[in-house]
Amino acid sequence: MAIHLTNPPPGLYAAKTPSQQQQHRPAGSHPAAAAAAAATVAMPQTASAASSSVAVKKNRQAAPVVVARRRTTAVESGGVALASVWREVQGERDWEGMVGTAAEELHPLLRGEIVRYGELVAATYKAFDLDAASKRYLNCKYGKARMLDEVGMAGAGYEVTRYIYAAPDLAAGPPCPSRWIGYVAVATDEAVRRLGRRDIVVSFRGTVTGSEWVANMMSSLAPARFDPADPRPDVKVESGFLSVYTSDDATCRFTCGSCRNQLLSEVTRLVAKHKHEDVSVTLAGHSMGSSLALLLGYDLAELGLNRDARGRAVPITVFSFAGPRVGNTAFKDRCDELGVKVLRVVNVNDPITKLPGIFLNENSRVLGGKLELPWSSSCYTHVGVELALDFFKARDPACVHDLEAYLGLLKCPKVTKEMKEGEDLISKAKKIVLEQSFDTWRWQMAAIQVGGLVQALGM
């Protein structure tokens, strides 16, 4: 038996009594997912009828995956508004009491915020121009003032202040042109009253272009060296992600400077502008975008750029969707030391979340819980708290890396138990095929990403 979540239209959640709640058990991983996701797209597709369950765990060595029971509730939980507990929702206490044990559920306010930031990431895909004849090809289709409106998020409560562009520096081949990778936005005055603070958001898309696919495959570790005064050569990150973050394209007609310089400049400007208010910095991304979000969070904290007028640290939170590992153990430890809070939403069947470091990772550093192995400093290690989902669709194995599938599962309040084999599965498959709908922009993105991967591999 496995838990399946159906996907009714998103709405408010109604609380259940403890006797009505059902505990979930993660289904086993599906081997077919690994082969399918190797050529899949880092792009939302469909999220209906996904086989699923939910678990949460802190990223500690040999820590057990703990299953969390699901509840549905309203925007306010027990009369508590988001504005009064926003620091806890942003991870001030590592989401203790919101995720973590079988007796406690994913807090409804936290669930709503995860979905909200996920939708701000999904906006980067919807606004991405896939028309090869367009002058904005592989960049944003809309101007900053109307981008969120054009993608159906007019009520998001944010004003986009800057677009961000990036290009990896690949050793072989011609220089790579910069492409639109995401945006910076700040909460409006109206949203501040609801959120309880001035929220600065940076949202990143995942891999699209051929050069980005190549960068994703550059899995060697390289020192980050973000602080010239204290380079910390032991803190290492994946060289491909570092290249996308730090490389500069002098020919870009939309902006100048590296992705890193653009981001540090804009985020520090906004922090300074609102230095007399309560401010938060929230970084969100999908797939490769979650790696860039984590690099930026570490960068801001390492340089001490997250300070308000009173010298207090401005909280930095990363919401990572389907994100790979980014750095080694020293990187993870330094992020923890600096107070960068990371909530990683992962699908246990998504192979991307197990890369890089499929062999050398946090689980292969220590022998017998005592002896640190010689290669421990070269082991990739996940950062932060993990919220583990479990979904897989036989008709569409590539869904395991789908942002829309992730969000659809988190929005879904209805839980049903169904058999995963025999006639139940066949009947369900037939129903899925008959009910299948197609979304043009998602299939366009799928085509362009698969084409980019083929080009990157030289096929």
Name the burial class of residue 333, with classes exposed (0-12), middle (13-18) and buried (19+) by CB atoms within 10 angstroms of its CB. middle
The CA distance from 119 to 407, in Å, is 8
* Catalytic option among 247, 287, 290, 320: 287
* Catalytic option among 350, 390, 396, 402: 350
The CA distance from 364 to 8, in Å, is 41
The CA distance from 284 to 293, in Å, is 6
Beta strand 198-204 with 179-187 is: antiparallel
* Catalytic option among 248, 286, 401, 402: 401
Token look-up 């501040």 returns: 192
Cite the DSSP H helix spans in 39-95. Answer: 82-89
Three-class SS state of 221:
strand
In which element (H, E) is residue 282 found?
strand 279-286
Triad 453, 262, 205: Cα angle to 5°: 35
> Which is nearest to 115 in space by CA: 319, 413, 388, 318?
319
Triad 149, 153, 154: Cα angle to 5°: 50
Residue type for position 44: P
Name the burial class of residue 307, with classes exposed (0-12), middle (13-18) and buried (19+) by CB atoms within 10 angstroms of its CB. middle
> Which is nearest to 429 in space by CA: 396, 391, 383?
396
Cis peptide before 356 (omega within 30 of 0): yes
Q: Are 298 and 308 in contact (CB under 8 A)?
A: no
The CA distance from 91 to 271, in Å, is 19
Active site residue 107: no
The CA distance from 424 to 431, in Å, is 11
Active site residue 94: no
Beta strand 385-389 with 54-58 is: antiparallel
Active site residue 350: yes
**Any bridge partners for residue 166, and if so which?**
179
Active site residues: 287, 350, 401
